[in-house]
Amino acid sequence: MALLIKSVFSFLKQPIFSSSLRVFSITKQLNLKEFQESRNGNKLIIEAVSVPSTRTDLLVRADKIQDLTPAVIDAEKPVCYLCKLGLDIKHTDVLILSQFVRSDGCMLPRRITGLCSRQQKKVGTMVSMAQKAGLMINLTPSRCKKDPKQRYGYKKFNTYFDEATIFMKKIPDQRDKFKR
């Protein structure tokens, strides 16, 4: 009996909910978009306007550069565009790192950056290093005071980071060298 009721419910559920979840779109879907608010009398219009990407002309790709010595790449693993370029990026290179963040300074997910998992972790850690060092203070949430000197406690002093620690399993403790 219970089985019968269950099957009836699932049969009823299917057309109702599946139809409500279906996405209809009138505008062209695959485009870089920007939300724009405009006010027409009492009406507030919020629309997603498709905009051309400003980055397309300035884009650097390894296959477009002549006489680039190819970076040493392990053929087993998937290769991304950043691996191919073979750049030695530091956490102080804010002009590069700021391309991978949102306007609130948050690292973009991998489905948007299109990096391999190793580079995603590396860039993500370097973004947080740059944020902790206060180098990308204009790309922070709105509640931030936008001045590293106004931070609380130890955070207000200058800090630098070692990029070699990104892929360390355990960062060695300085006190361990006194252990027997």
Partner 1 sequence: MSAAKRVQQWATFARTWHIFDCKWQDPYQSANIIKKYLMGLHKPIYHPMNDCGDVVVCINSREIALRGDDWRKRAYFHHTGYPGGASWTLAWELHNKDPTMIIKKAVYRAMKGNLQRRHTMERLFIYPGEEIPEDIKQNVSNQIRQLRLVPQRLDHIPEEEVQQYPKVMEYPPDYVLK
Residues lying near partner 1 in the complex (CB under 8 A): 29-35, 48, 51, 53-56, 58-60, 81-82, 85, 87, 92, 94-96, 98-100, 102-104, 111-114, 133-139, 146, 153-154, 157-162, 165, 171, 174
44 sits in which H/E element: strand 43-50
CA nearest 34: which of 56, 49, 55, 46?
Answer: 49
Least CB distance from residue 39 to partner 1, whole Å?
Answer: 21
Considering the complex, state which of residue 1 and residue 95 has its C-beta at the smaller distance from partner 1.
95
Could you give the CA distance from residue 97 to residue 90 in angstroms, rounded to a whole number?
9
For residue 79, the SS3 value is: coil
Check if the beta carbon of residue 73 is closer than 8 Å to that of residue 84. yes
Least CB distance from residue 135 to partner 1, whole Å?
Answer: 5
CA nearest 107: which of 71, 136, 83, 148?
Answer: 136
Considering the complex, state which of residue 79 and residue 85 has its C-beta at the smaller distance from partner 1.
85
Least CB distance from residue 124 to partner 1, whole Å?
Answer: 13
Considering the complex, state which of residue 8 and residue 48 has its C-beta at the smaller distance from partner 1.
48
Could you give the CA distance from residue 139 to residue 146 in angstroms, rounded to a whole number?
9
Considering the complex, state which of residue 37 and residue 76 has its C-beta at the smaller distance from partner 1.
37
Least CB distance from residue 89 to partner 1, whole Å?
Answer: 9
